[in-house]
Amino acid sequence: MGSATEPRAVRVDKTGGTGVEIDWKDGHKSHYKFQYLRDACPCATCEEEREKTGVEPGQPPKPKNALPMFREPARPTDVSAVGKYAMNFHWNDGHAHGIYSWDYLRMMCPCDQCSALRRTAETPAAPTGN
């Protein structure tokens, strides 16, 4: 694991509900709102659902019917370390299967700089005229 994906400090504001802040060893700082993390759950079930509906990690799920149901804001009821490489959330909706590795969290950093890098990486290169 390189310094880009090694946290120096991790703060989870369960009580205030503001989310998770990570200071990375390379100097980068990330802030994740709890709803973003819940919508980016990396478990197989959530990944499969996003693939079916064409939703990107971190985006809210598409409503299953024309009248979207109220969703209580996501909040963890419990947070635990998974070895030295990840964290796990038990969410207030009962979901608890996602293991959020440091690599995954860094890759999913929602800051403007990281979001722009992801968009650039996803954009296909223009064909050359040769």
Q: What kind of architecture, by CATH, is found in domain 3-76+83-122?
A: 2-Layer Sandwich (3.30)
Beta strands in 54-110 (DSSP E): 76-82, 86-91, 99-101
pTM, full prediction: 0.85
Stretch 46-53: mean pLDDT: 93
What pLDDT shows up at residue 50?
A: 93
> Tell me, what amino acid is at 87?
M
Give the gyration radius of the chain's Cα atoms: 16
Quick one: pLDDT at residue 71? 76
Q: pLDDT (tens digit, 9 = 90+) per residue, 17-26? A: 899 999 999 9
Q: What angle do CA 6, 11, 15 make, to 5 degrees?
A: 155
pLDDT for res 62: 79
Amino acid at 27: G
* Segments making up each domain of the chain, as ranges: 3-76+83-122
pLDDT of residue 129: 56
Residue 5 tokens, joined: 């994906």
Give pLDDT tens digits for 83-127.
999 999 999 999 999 999 999 999 999 999 999 988 888 766 555
